[in-house]
Structure 1
Amino acid sequence: MEKVEMKNIGFLGAGSMTEAMIEGMISRQFVTPDRIVIMNRTNAHRLAELEEKYGVRTLQNAEMLLRHSNVLVLAMKPIDAAQALESIQPFLTDQHVIISVLAGITTSYIEGSIQTKTPIVRVMPNTSAAIGYSATAIARGEYATDEHLSFTQKLFETIGTVVQVREEKLNAITGLSGSGPAYFYYMVECMEKAAILNGIDQKTARQLIIQTITGAAKMLNETNFEASHLRERVTSPGGTTQAGLTILEKYKYEEAITACITEAGKRSEELGKHLERQNHF
């Protein structure tokens, strides 16, 4: 099996995910800035900003982007997928590798649009990529090999952790970890409000909540105990924790979380199908 020979990494799109990936790759020495090429369809100011900040190269020509890159990251808005794929299609070969971070857009749709046997890996990161803590899932398309998956995993490990899954799981994963940060932010909002109602100032509450979440995450990660085991260890019968958990059970906390993740996953699937219908050539 051939190893993926990385010459240059090209980005089609210059938004926040592109910047997070660039920063991660450069800081982790995955690639040097001169081997990163970025193209953005309309915003020349944004390209100049990234070029100045990171020392990367920028272009506004699809043919030149594909000529100078053998790894292409699709990072434009999903609604612009059809136009973007149409612009690169004449210049793609099976020697390129496409990495797609387009939410909801399947590899089969991209393969059908470009009409080549170009390997495609679909990726679902989350917004914590901005600080190097993304929880990312990756899945291969029809022509991608284990080597393409391995290369993509190493790339995304520069901005967090990575798991390999089958593509049909990505909508559910979008509901779980793709949207996941927002669930925790909402929980923090609620905890801050509860703290204020109980006489704790917001600054103190925020500090305590963040450390509590961080500590709980580290306990899960470093002890390898199941969450239920850790919960039971800190829950004494008739104690304060039990009193709080009883209220969560009363208000159907588990059912709410399950419905939340399930509905977000369903919406991801719906939006993907809608985008593919909209973007149909």
Structure 2
Amino acid sequence: MLKNRNITFIGAGSMAEAMISGLINKAGIPPEQITAANHSNERRRLELNEKYNIQTMAFSEISFNNTDVIILAVKPKQAETVLQQLRPVLQDYHVILSVLAGISTRYIEEILEKALPIIRVMPNTSSMIGESITGISAGKYVKNDDLDLAQELSKAIGKVKIISEKQMDVFTGIAGSGPAYFYYLLEHIEDIAVENGLDRELARDIAAQTLYGASKMVMESEDSPAELRKKVTSPNGTTAAGLEALAENGGGIAIERAVVNAAKRSKTLRKEFEKVPAL
């Protein structure tokens, strides 16, 4: 379904780049089918053009007649301005995917004032290597073919889960923001390993492989994370000592609060920029 579909990114930041990289390098989408546009950062456009050989241009230069799928990847505070500029040029055949954190499909529909398919898509930056977990939820005018298209595009950059829009805030707190939590964890493991005599590159490989292996165990095992943890924890052993330190220092609570805070921020963004009741 993606074959011969022209895709235009409105916004050229890190999330747009991650998706562009996944679409080209993992899904094999020809670079000539992809365009990235922003308002004024010509240097960033040149960077993406040189790196991926895609078309880049200023927002004002886009010919939407040659675009099938529009991916909104700007900052939430820019949403209203961009949508107002898009409204007069949109056609019935356009499908709009939004990666705007906290911005609902209803808000986009209200500003555009057109019965166009709006689909919220929340990938993460692991899109760059085709390993995102992406949540998608459909707006009022989305048909099955539109949803299939969004799933196909999202599968090109990793795994996909169809969720209700009410679940999107917590999904954002876990999957959208989640990679940063794990990077933070690995950063601290790496630092303490170096303090205790390991080479930094070696420490990084050890920590990253350990996390990768544990994640793979969860995905391939029928056991829950709690059951897997119990299986590797011998009474009075080294793992038990480490887990005890995590509990004493609020490790579990810290992770819970990270997810809750990120989800809360997603809800706050909707209230700040939409000025409509929460879902």
Q: Taking structure 1 as the reference length, what is the TM-score of the superposition?
A: 0.88
Report whether the alignment pairs 1:258 with 2:260: no
The answer for the alignment partner of 1:170 in structure 2 is 168
- Structure 1 match to 2:11: 13
1:272: Cα distance to partner?
Answer: 2.5
Alignment-derived partner of residue 232 in structure 2: 234
Structure 2: distance between partners of 1:198 and 1:34: 50
State the distance in 1 between where 2:222 and 2:23 align.
29
Counterpart residue number, 1:189: 187
Q: Return the alpha-carbon distance in structure 2 between the equivalents of residues 22 and 177 of structure 1.
A: 19
User: How far apart are residue 6 of structure 1 and its match?
Assistant: 5.9
- What's the CA shift string for 1:107-143, capped at 9, x where partnerless? 1110000000000000111122233222211111111
Q: Distance in 2 between matches of 1:100 and 1:138?
A: 9
| CA displacement at 1:40 relative to structure 2 | 1.9
SS at match of 1:102: coil
Distance 2:65 2:149 in 1: 20
Whether the aligned pair in 2 keeps the contact of 1:62 and 1:88 (CA below 8 Å) is no
1:22–1:196 CA distance, 2 compared to 1 (3 A): closer
Name which of 161, 169, 177 aligns with 1:179. 177
Q: 2:88 matched to 1:67?
A: no
Deviation at 1:171, TM superposition (A): 0.8
Counterpart selection for 2:244 from 229, 243, 246: 246
Q: Is the 8 A contact 1:127 1:181 kept in 2?
A: yes
Question: By how many angstroms is 1:187 displaced?
Answer: 1.5
**CA separation in 2, counterparts of 1:103 and 1:76?**
10
Q: Which amino acid aligns with 1:83?
A: T
Deviation at 1:165, TM superposition (A): 0.5
Q: What CA distance in whole angstroms lies between the structure 1 residues aligned with 2:253 and 2:4? A: 46
The equivalent of 1:96 in structure 2 is 94
Number of residue-to-residue matches in the alignment: 276
CA distance in 2, matches of 1:147, 1:128: 26
CA separation in 2, counterparts of 1:19 and 1:165?
24
Relative distance call for 1:275 and 1:213 in structure 2 (3 A) is same
Range 190-199 or range 245-254, more displaced: 190-199
The alpha-carbon deviation at position 213 of structure 1 amounts to: 0.8
Percent identity over the alignment is 43
Unmatched 5+ residue regions in structure 1? none
Query: For the residues of structure 2 that align with 1:64 and 1:26, how far apart are their CA atoms?
Result: 21
Aligned-pair CA distance for 1:199: 4.2
Task: Give the Cα separation in 1 of the matches to 2:85 and 2:8.
Answer: 14
Q: How far did 1:61 drift?
A: 5.4
Q: 1:42 aligns to what? A: 40
- Tell me the alpha carbon deviations over residues 224-276 of structure 1, each in whole angstroms, 9 at most, x when there is no partner: 42111211111112222112212222333323322221122112211232122
Find the residue that maps to 1:94 and give its secondary structure.
Answer: coil
Helix, strand or coil for the counterpart of 1:105?
Answer: coil
Distance change (3 Å), C-alpha of 1:19 and 1:206: closer
